């Protein structure tokens, strides 16, 4: 697993339930990153969780409409609670 300052790397992927977003989530997982999956579709999120876990990484699905700032803020807090604080900044 890749780390920053001995902390695991965390990727937050929007649109993670299908297409490029889902492929991006898989790519991070294959490199050992923990992946927070954000999307509106519950079924697609469940599939993306399976993809990430099949790659041996930890997944956190957060149903989110990124057009809603309150949902985005709530998702950011959920990522920090579920996968750890940001390594940026």
Residues contacting residue 41 through CB under 8 Å, at least 6 positions apart:
17, 18
CB atoms within 10 A of CB 35: 29
Q: What is the pTM of this model?
A: 0.88
The mean pLDDT value for 9-19 works out to 95
- pLDDT > 60? residue 2: no
Predicted confidence band at 89 (pLDDT cuts at 50, 70, 90)?
A: very low
């Amino acid at each position: 697993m890749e780390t920053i300052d001995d902390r695991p790397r965390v990727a937050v992927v929007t649109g993670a339930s299908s297409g490029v977003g889902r492929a991006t989530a898989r790519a991070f997982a294959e490199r050992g990153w923990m992946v927070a999956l954000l999307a509106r579709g519950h079924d697609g999120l469940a599939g993306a969780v399976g993809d990430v876990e099949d790659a041996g990484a930890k997944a956190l699905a957060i149903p989110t409409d990124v057009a809603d700032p309150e949902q985005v803020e709530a998702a950011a807090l959920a990522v920090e609670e579920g996968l750890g604080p940001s390594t940026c900044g």
